[in-house]
Amino acid sequence: MVTKKAEPGLAAVDVALSELVDGEKRWAATSLSGRRALLDRVRELTGRHAQEWVDAAAGIKGLAADSPLVGEEWTSGPYVMAAGLGALSKTLDILDRGESPLDKASFGVAGDRVTVDVLPASPFDALLLNGFSAQVWLQRGVSTAAAKANAGLAQLDPSRTQGVGAVLGAGNITSIAPLDVLYELIAHNRVVALKLNPITDPMLPVFAKILAPLIDLGAVRLLTGGAEVGGYLIGNELVDHVHMTGSARTHDAIVWGTGAEAAERRLAGTPKLTKPVTSELGGVSPTIVLPGEWSAADIAFQAEHVATQRLHNGGYNCVAAQAMIISADWAQKDQFLAAVRAAIAKAPARPAYYPGSDDRVAGACESYPGAERLGGGRVLVTGLAPSPAEPLLTEEYFAPVFGVVELPGTEAEFTRAAARTANEAFAGTLGVNIIAEPGTITELGASFDELIEDLRYGTVAINAWTGVGYLTPTASWGAFPGHTIDDVQSGIGVVHNAWLIDRVERTVVRGPFRPAPRSLLRGELAISPKPPWFVGNKTAASTGRLLAEFGADPGWLRLPQIFASALRG
């Protein structure tokens, strides 16, 4: 009998998994202090190789080295990785002392839920993100005492490991894959085989250098290859759990198969992949704009904010806003729509690096013959019906396509209709943005609080982009809880969550409506200038680089340079 040899990529999977089985024993024997030392070393290496990271990411995305857009790669790459490592390291130190990561946390109440203040988490946060805050809402029925007792997740019993996890990496934001590895390793106590998305294969040498301490221990292995390698990996009997980032369509193909096979399996309730799967998937994220009295400067700033929510990373973000919900009766509606149209059109040009982008844009224009082409492959569609039958509200284009839904009413009538539309007409539950002038929030009172409570999304951002939740290591990141493999929507489970909080429902982020100094002149206690993640920020690259250096090695002396660069943005 002739034995068929495994393909080279498949043989590498076999070797990696075999090594991870042995590595799990070494990971189980590593103390909390030893694990903290490993994370601190990875953080140091993140800072050392940050420039290589950004160069590789910019190469993937076709960004010129001197482009301000490279700032996106600094902040969403090595900065958030280093910040996440630092927060996890502190959590392990607290657990090693026999304390809870939430012992010193500030708790609150939102309706019938307990909340935990997670931003600012340090004096540095209070200065670098002045005016921004975030709270993690716990699921109904979770008390403060239970939250403190259970914070730490699998690290409450570090010697009890959970086998081998397979992570299928994302192809857009380069920190997603390594951060997912850290969460599997720490929150779930699983050693990890990371299979990179082929788009990000150029990141392999950088990740190998940064994750070297965990690789050397045998707790992490890095793999490359296409769908065949990914399928072989997750189907291997040595893999106990799968975590993936991508689209709901890709998730369903992995779990159920495709075509007739998928239909038959769904009918029989017999998925193709039977092991546990968690996921962070995309969706059609809405931005809700509440009517109010805005100055011309407010309109211009918030128009660029909306353009950023759509066009950051070229529009290839799982939480990129795809449609805006606006009041048809707002006196300044037309003025704001004109400003949004102009902001999208004048945003810096960039290559459409993500595969299939042009085809998806063409598909949107075919569905909407009246769509406005704004240059650079950007498309605006107005007059959308607030209905799940509307393609733009149910299909994640993952491309620079943006739509507008107009609803009648103002004040509480509009907020109720907006929440209902966001929950019922939009596909996915990953993130929703709300833009509201502070006076409007005050006037709405309890109705505004009800709007936040009613929205079934994993991250709700008020006068901030939901991407701030991604950048906050102590915040949770993932879909609203309750999805299943039968109807996965934006995924199952959370990541990041560096305080290792159990039974999270959502993260609520708040930011200033205006940048400094206008914020101070109008009574907002916030000194943050235009955020460095705005697509029109002129010093985004220098600010991002300085933030990444700070994330890897925080210190007071680094702050003046960061502030000076940010203020010039």
pLDDT band at 6 (very low <50, low <70, confident <90, very high): low
Q: How far apart are the C-alpha atoms of 529 and 510, rounded to whole Å?
A: 15
Q: Could you tell me the two tokens for 548? A: 């990444």
Instruction: Give the pLDDT mean for 212-237.
Output: 97
Task: Give the span between the Cα atoms of 206 and 204, in whole angstroms.
Answer: 5
CATH topology of domain 1-108+161-242: Aldehyde Dehydrogenase; Chain A, domain 1 (3.40.605)
Same fold, 1-108+161-242 and 285-484+511-537: no
pLDDT tens, residue by residue, 318-370: 999 999 999 999 999 999 999 999 999 999 999 999 999 999 999 999 999 99
pTM: 0.96
Structure confidence by residue, pLDDT tens digits, 421-444:
999 999 999 999 999 999 999 999
193 and 211 Cβ atoms separated by less than 8 Å: no
| Look-up of token digits 């039968």 | 486
Q: Where exactly are the structural domains of the chain?
A: 1-108+161-242, 285-484+511-537
Burial 491-523 (b: 16+ CB within 10 A, else e): bbbbbbbbbbbbebbbbbbbbbbbbbebbeebe
**β pairing state of 372-375 and 277-281:** unpaired
- pLDDT tens digits, 132-165: 999 999 999 999 999 999 999 999 999 999 999 9
Give, in order, the Cα–Cα distances in Å from 211 to each of 43, 182, 426: 9, 10, 38
CATH class of 285-484+511-537: alpha beta
